[in-house]
Amino acid sequence: MAYDAWFRDAETGAGRWELDEIIYRSPSGGLLEVAHDMERLKARAPAAWMQLWDARYKRTQWPYGSGVWGKKELVLPNIPDEHVVSLDEGGTNLFWAERFGRELGLTDLWVKQCGVSHTGSFKDLGMTVLVSQVNHLIKSKKRDILGVACASTGDTSASLAAYCAAAGIPAVVLLPRGKISTAQLIQPIANNALTLALDTDFDGCMRLVQELTEDKKLYLANSMNSLRVEGQKTVGIEIVQQFDWEVPDWIFIPGGNLGNVSALYKGLEEIKELGIINRIPKIVCCQAEAANPLYLAYKSGWKEFHPVTAKPTQASAIRIGNPVSRSKAVRALMTHDGRVEQASEQELADAAARADRTGLFNCPHTGVALACLMKFVARGEIKRNDRIVVISTAHGLKFTESKAAYHGAGVLPGVQPSYPNPPIELAADVRAVYDAVMRHMERTFV
């Protein structure tokens, strides 16, 4: 199997660096991307790729049952299977949001539950690739690496810590103190990562970790490392696969550092080049109004991009003012006429809560994407029978603080909950309980 992949300059497509080199940026300072020998890949017919990937999907043959490693030829073709560090990521459920869709006047609305994953977010898709490559460099004695480090808004560090723990590789995580959820903080602690809570924001942690990893003793795990994008790009391929290789009309995806929206496009572009699909869906990148530099750039007609100072938001994992992958994201969005939308704290909280009432359990970032979808529907930009996929980036259970605050256990700045459902505290008395039930039923069935 002589497939081949290497790093190249993401801007110009020039240069070639082997994946075994420790390099995150091109000499010009731009981002790198992983390039594949597409001519070799095209030697296999589209139908044969679909058949191969379907045969592996969610089976147990190591490591191909993973949603990422099932597409190994298009991800990291030359790593030995025994060096792969996989926690069976990907293969997440695609939820037909039938009742919520009906409320919005839509018939074909789906939520891709990327948070139903080992550490509860889509970050697992990329981290399996990065940690596998590091494991390969260590096991094959190609490089001396002490460990892996990242800055994080909470989910990257949880994922890095888990994959490193599974491989026995030391992990170091830099977090903005007090700006992530309890669940996200406890994940790397439980997985025995060195957990550093710093008095700064994510952008500050990002600057520090870049300096910390400069001498290459620690491998940098942030998404400027293009290996993560290789794993994350499988999400779009997997969505198409789950629809029996049919392309949906719209995909709504939350964006912060903008690695994931870049990855979504890259995967879809590559399977289009392989002849597996013949069009790219309309993609809408969804930002929190509190951290919206991409939205502002889009509104300027892509004329200018200014980093912002990200303000507090329930959607803490996308509280990023200076996104690392902006050049990749902007290029892909411009090429494919992609859209950008934003949601306020009120809009994202209400959208998440309203959809929760139809059986979902949304994190605030998914709330951002749902709120943006509702704006597109309200403006008549989406047809009733369009097939729409909302990418849910994390599990709601990681964000119970903000959900509890919404339902009355606290205060969410700038939010007047439209769908609160606080618990009712009662004496353990059957009459009182019966009355409470009946009052509830009357309210529900008026």
Ligand X SMILES: *Cc1c(COP(=O)(O)O)cnc(C)c1O
Using CB under 6 A, list all residues that contact ligand X: 121, 123, 155, 223, 254-260, 317-318, 363, 365, 393-394
CA separation for the pair 131, 225 (Å, rounded)? 11
Residue 317 CB, shortest distance to ligand X, in Å, is 4
Using the structure block, give the residue that is written with the tokens 């049952």.
65
| DSSP for 37-73, written as a single string | -HHHHHTS-HHHHHHHHHHHTT--STTTTSTTGGGGG
Query: Alpha helix locations (H) across 140-171?
Result: 155-167
- Strand order across the beta sheet in which 218-220 lies: 194-198, 171-176, 147-151, 218-220
Q: Which is nearer to ligand X, 125 or 274 (CB)?
A: 125
Nearer to ligand X, 114 or 277 (CB): 114
If the CB atoms of residues 64 and 234 are measured against ligand X, the closer one turns out to be: 234
Q: Which is nearer to ligand X, 133 or 393 (CB)?
A: 393
Identify which of residues 160 and 276 has a Cβ nearer to ligand X in the complex.
Answer: 160
Tokens of 100: 């919520």
Task: Decide if 293 contacts 306 (C-beta within 8 A).
Answer: yes
The smaller minimum CB distance to ligand X, of residues 63 and 126, is found at 126
CB atoms under 10 Å from CB of 38, counted, come to 12
Pick the closer one to ligand X by CB: 56 or 195: 195
| Residue (of 329, 320, 323) closest to 285 by Cα position | 329
- Smallest distance, Å, CB 155 to ligand X? 3
CB-based burial label for 22 (10 Å; 0-12, 13-18, 19+): middle
The DSSP line for 95-142 is: EE-HHHHHHHT-S-EEEEETTSSTTSBTHHHHHHHHHHHHHHHHHTTS
Q: Token digits for 418?
A: 């439209």
DSSP state of 392: E
Nearest distance in Å: CB 393, ligand X: 3
> Residue 319 CB, nearest distance to ligand X (Å)?
10
Strand partners, 390: 111, 252
| Nearest-approach distance from CB 254 to ligand X, in angstroms | 4
How far apart are CB 69 and ligand X at their closest, in Å? Answer: 21
**Shortest separation between residue 276's beta carbon and ligand X, angstroms:** 24
Tell me how far, at minimum, the Cβ of 311 lies from ligand X, in Å: 16
Question: Looking at beta carbons only, is 281 or 364 nearer to ligand X?
Answer: 364
